[in-house]
Amino acid sequence: MTKYHSNIIIICLIIFLTVSLFIYWHYVLSFSKRLRVSKRLVYSGITINSFNPSRLNLTFNTNIIESNILSIIDNNAILVQLSKPSQTSTITMILSDGFHHLDILLLDEIENIEFYHAIDIASGSQSLKVTVLDQQYKPVENISVHLELVDYSHITLEYYTNHFGEVIFHYLPKNIQIFIEAIYMNSKRHAFVEIDTDHYQNITLILKDMSVLHDDEYSPLDQGYYAS
């Protein structure tokens, strides 16, 4: 191999390494920029991985990235398409009852994706009051009551009971299966039930010893559960 050929190989190798390094740093900077945008863009008038009203007023701060289109896709269908978004854009969204996977995209002039983020929520207009009683049928205060969607268990909400042993969950979808669990760690008692939101507006849970009741033994007919 001649000295000329060796020099050509070295030059090509240097060019390759330079281009690779440039691409790597571009990816790193782009990724860090997207993280900064997500913190400002996503948490704006919406509760992620939880329950929301059907009508949402979202404010997007897009001043970090120059974008031509703001697009929101709901369960693979375009819900919002806003051209030339201002630095602060407020959008009203009307959501149907149920689970929603939202893809939020900022696009440039040739519709390349400048920013992308996916979030999950549920929306609805149903309310459910849960009352927690002990084995003497007396209300229990300050009990953790956890509610989640059966098919999408990462969609959750948690409240603590008031003096009357009650909590009220809002913005639940119609005709959907939910799982509810009340836990009282001080006495190692709990209660749980799986119901359809169409059939109940009020439900009463009777706490039982944790050693007596296990998830794999659960039946809706178990003694200690009363729904009205």
Q: Which of 44-48, 60-64, 69-73, 131-135 tops mean pLDDT?
A: 131-135
Q: Is the pLDDT of residue 125 over 50?
A: yes
Residues 120, 124, 127, CA angle at the centre, nearest 5°? Answer: 120
pLDDT digits (tens, 9 = 90+) for 170-225: 999 999 999 999 998 777 788 999 999 988 999 999 999 876 555 444 444 443 44
Q: What integer pLDDT is reported at residue 64 of this predicted model?
A: 52
pLDDT digits (tens, 9 = 90+) for 166-181: 999 999 999 999 999 9
Helix or strand (DSSP H, E) at 8: helix 3-41
Q: How many CB atoms are located within 10 Å of the residue 217 CB?
A: 8
Decide if domain 126-227 falls under CATH 2.60.40.1120: yes
Lowest-confidence region among 17-31, 47-61, 109-123: 17-31
- The amino acid present at 27, given as its one-letter code, is Y
Q: How many CB atoms are located within 10 Å of the residue 180 CB?
A: 21
In this prediction, residues 17-37 reach a mean pLDDT of 52
Q: Of 136, 225, 145, 227, whose CA–CA distance to 184 is shortest?
A: 145
Q: Is 8 left (phi over 0), alpha (psi -120 to 50) or beta?
A: alpha
Would the CATH topology of 29-123 be identical to that of 126-227? yes
Q: Which residue has the higher pLDDT, 76 or 226?
A: 76
Q: What integer pLDDT is reported at residue 34 of this predicted model?
A: 46
Q: Annotate 111-144 with three-state secondary structure.
A: CCEEEEEEEEEEECCEEEEEEEECCCCCECCCCE
Q: Which residue has the higher pLDDT, 105 or 85?
A: 105
Residues 6+ apart with CB under 8 A from 199: none
Quick one: DSSP state of residue 10?
A: H
Q: What integer pLDDT is reported at residue 98 of this predicted model?
A: 96
Q: Which residue has the higher pLDDT, 89 or 113?
A: 113
Q: Which residue has the higher pLDDT, 74 or 209?
A: 74
The rounded radius of gyration (Å) of the Cα atoms in the chain is 26
Q: Is the pLDDT of residue 43 over 60?
A: no
What share of the chain has pLDDT > 90, as a percent? 43
In this prediction, residues 61-81 reach a mean pLDDT of 80
Q: Which residue has the higher pLDDT, 146 or 105?
A: 146
Domain spanning 29-123: CATH superfamily: Immunoglobulins (2.60.40.10)
Q: Where are the domains of the chain?
A: 29-123, 126-227
Is the dihedral angle over the CA atoms 65, 71, 73, 74 positive or is it negative?
Answer: positive
Q: Of 226, 92, 75, whose CA–CA distance to 152 is shortest?
A: 75
pTM of the model: 0.72
Token couple for 185: 């760690």
